[in-house]
Amino acid sequence: MAHKITSTCIKCGTCAGVCPFSAISEGDETYVIDPDVCVDCGACAASCPVNAIEG
C-alpha cells in the first residue's frame, strides 16, 4: 500500500526531492503520492520535517 501525505503537509517539497521513483508531485493543498508509482520504500516519510507522511 502506498504512503499517504496528510493535511499537516507544509508543502516544502522535501519528499518529492528524495523519492527515487518520482511518485510525489505538488497538489493544490499538499503534495500527493501517486499510488500506482509508489513502491512503499519510505524515503519520503523519513525525510518529512513535520512527519506528514503515513505508511
pLDDT, position 1: 79
CA–CA distance from 21 to each of 3, 6, 7, 12, 35 (Å)?
A: 13, 20, 22, 18, 11
- What is the DSSP code string of 31-46? EEE-TTT-----HHHH
| E strand or H helix at 24 | strand 24-26
**38: domain range?**
4-54
| E strand or H helix at 54 | strand 53-54
Using CA atoms, how far apart are residues 40 and 10, in angstroms rounded to an integer? 21
Q: Which CATH number do you get for residue 10? A: 3.30.70.20
Per the structure, how many domains does the chain have? 1
**Tens-place pLDDT, residues 14-47:** 999 999 999 999 999 999 999 999 999 999 999 9
Which comes out higher in pLDDT, residue 38 or 55? 38
